[in-house]
Amino acid sequence: MAKARSQTKSDKSGAQDLFRKLVERYLQNNPGAETARLEEAYKLASAAHAKQLRESGEPYILHPLNVALICANLNMDEDSIVAALLHDTVEDTSVRPKKIERSFGEKAADLVVSLTKIHRIDLFSRFVGRTMSDEQARNLQRLFVSMAQDLRVLVIKLADRLHNLRTIEALSEERAKRNAKETLDFYAPLARRLGLHELAHEMEDICFRLLHPRDYEWVVSELGKMMGRKTASYELTKTRLKRELTAANIHVKRVFGRTKTPYSAWRKIRDRGVPLDQVFDLMAIRVVVTGEDLDCYRALGVIHGIYRPLFNRFRDFIAAPKSNGYQSLHTTVMGESGQICEIQVRTEQMDDIAEHGVAAHWKYKGHASPYQLRETFSWFEFISDLSEQELDSRDFVEKTRESLTKGEVLVLSPLGEVVALPEGSTPVDFAYYIHTDLGHSTESALVNGQDVPLDYTLKNGDVVEIVKNEEGVPKPQPEWLNIVRSQKSITKIKRWFRSQPRQRRVQMGRFLLRQQIAKSGLYPLNLMENVNLMALVKSLRVRKIDDLFDQIATGSLMAEEVVQKLKHVYVEKAMKRSVRPESEPEAPFTPAIGLAGELGIVRKGGKPLRRKVELAPCCTPIPGDEILGLDNRKEHRVDVHLAQCPAIADEVELTTIPVQWSEEALEKLYPATLRIVALNRVGLLFDIMRELSELSVNLTGGNINIQPTVSHGDGNAVFYLMVEVWDTKQLSDVLEAIGQVEDVILVQRHHESAGGA
């Protein structure tokens, strides 16, 4: 915060104009309402922040005014707007909560206190390189639970973050990028979870522009070109839709277009790997009807009578709403001039909820209770369930964060009940959603009338039926903990395991750990050696190995997390061993021999070298390397080495020839050898090949030594791969990409003459 100074007349005028807009917007939403409390809150906030400036240099009072205006645009209630005006007073000024309670009531004061707690806790310390203390995690856990009890705290906090993003240019580049990453990781997903799509879109685009400026400019430019070409056909489609629907006695409130935001378009291109012109919902046409759900289906029938729908491109979010309350019919059709476009049909109330999410519920339900809202938004039920578990506070925070970014799948019970489950859920998750006893006694499952394994991944629209075991008694299996995705399922299974005798729990924990290691594509025989487990036990402060298994079975430790720690122990041991064990394979060398001009070699200064040359296999030079030629008269050629190649010293009888890379060398591919040491697992080589493919790098040969196996001791997987690259810069990109592959311990350019990198 900048140093204090008194307000000028222009400062006061700007703040008063903003407050006037706030009042006007509030009265539009609440005709005839009293505004005395808003005026008193503005006066208190203005006096409290009178001598404060933001980092941008503008009067601080403009910030709470803008936050309050965002809340008013979301149709928030009076207490929320009062709290938005005062949200920084307790933290940054001498105003105390008791004063707010006396002047504005207990509800407004509670909102301000909750917002102050959020401000005081570093929400993201764990994710930006600092260590979150146990006390911070406990405070954050209590905070999430309290927020789940009053959604208004969340909405005001999101409005606060949005206005901070709008003025983010006042921050240093480092802070601005950190805030942008925090927003994409947490705040934007939270806004989407609440159905606040307008806020989420604006947040995402600001962060996208800041974090990926070149991609942002490209997407905006391409969207502009594409929309320019399609605008005429979209306008014809909208005009015809309105005319035909009206003729069918369907009352149309409005028909309008919605263009996909730059960030949403970029995410779709990146995640689905499709070009921009293959994204069919870049512009969607929204049809808002005045009426009930049935009118939406009538309108859909008319639309399909006009335009041919695309197969498998229809979604019914009216019969099966999203967990944030979103309802609409989505269909993709061949519109005017054969232009493919998405059409969304909804009622006025559905449209309001689609745009304003949770905030719209105050308009239609009055001051809905937290219980009602938790029923509407399944995420809050998840938070409540999570708070009942005996979880470490840090685990609670991480699981809460993960839950914000996960999608959902909508399935049906045999009776037609729509069930929303986390994306990736299995029939076991469905069973536990219906009832705990059904989950405990699950024997098998039918999906769409067909037998499926219990680890089958459910898809939207699946009809799921659970078959109980013949005895009808609880028989949860340890492996279920590795296949369920719903936190509710995990909680119920772990509670059952905790009731079992310790010996049974130890057996289950050992089984779970072995299964998780195998699921990760690794080798239980090596990772579960006692010497590795003992090293892990010490780092986890567990007394014995059996205690480790017991904690895995009861849920105090997750098998997946233990595997990651075991891998870390294993990698540390591998790094301490010899860099080049005797059992390591020979590196593949394919010498490049040809005329100097063909291989991009010229004399120092640029004069042609009219000789045959060989790029020495001992050091495999490539453009970007400093090179030196040796006149090998015996072989009638010039051997080209790295200037620092040790082999040059052994060839004292050969005459050196100063050489360099020609400009034509930049248009050729050259061989280079990579040495990769990694923790062996299933799919490792595939992951490395995928990185090479994404960089458009060709693989020309390789030698591989795969360890450990049943017949080998504790060792590594060692690869020698020969690749073709343009120059040292591309080779550096290859090394960096492979180094990011999970379980790769070491990757380096290999020179045989140097015995390594």
CB half-sphere exposure, 4, CA atoms < 13 A = 8
Say which of 58, 91, 408, 651 is annotated catalytic. 91
Q: Which of 347, 398, 405, 360 is nearest to 379 (CA)?
A: 405
Q: Which of 469, 525, 570 is nearest to 709 (CA)?
A: 525
Length of the chain measured in residues: 757
Detail the DSSP E strand segments found in 696-743: 698-705, 717-725
CA–CA gap between residue 57 and residue 68 (Å, rounded) = 20
Give yes or no for a contact between 189 and 177, defined as CB atoms under 8 angstroms apart. Answer: no
92 is catalytic: yes
> 663 an active-site residue?
no
- Alpha-carbon distance of 494 to 486, in angstroms, equals 13
CB 174, CB 133: distance < 8 Å: no
Q: What's the half-sphere exposure (Cβ side, CA atoms, 13 Å) at 465? A: 10
Helices and strands, number each (H, E), in the chain = 31, 21
Consecutive H or E run containing 632: strand 627-632
The encoded tokens of residue 413 equal: 């019970």
For 310, the token pair is 């695309």
Total Cβ atoms within 10 A of residue 6: 7
Q: How far apart are CA 704 and CA 586, in angstroms?
A: 9
> DSSP character for 712?
S
Looking at this protein, which amino acid is placed at residue 641? H
As a whole number of angstroms, the distance between CA 365 and CA 509 comes to 48
716 in Cβ contact with 677 (< 8 Å): yes
Give me the helix-helix angle, 502-519 and 559-576, nearest 10°: 60
Please tell me whether residue 329 adopts helix, strand or coil conformation.
strand
- Report how far residue 119's alpha carbon sits from residue 294's, in angstroms, rounded to the nearest whole number: 46
What tokens does 589 get?
């060398």
Of 92, 222, 465, 547, catalytic: 92
* 16 contacts: CB under 8 Å, gap ≥ 6: none
| Residue 359 to residues 154, 212, 293, 438, 598, Cα–Cα distance (Å) | 10, 31, 21, 36, 69
Report yes or no: 203 and 192 within 8 Å, Cβ to Cβ.
no
The rounded Cα 339 to chain-centroid distance in angstroms is 32
277: three-class secondary structure by DSSP: helix
Which residues carry out catalysis?
91-92
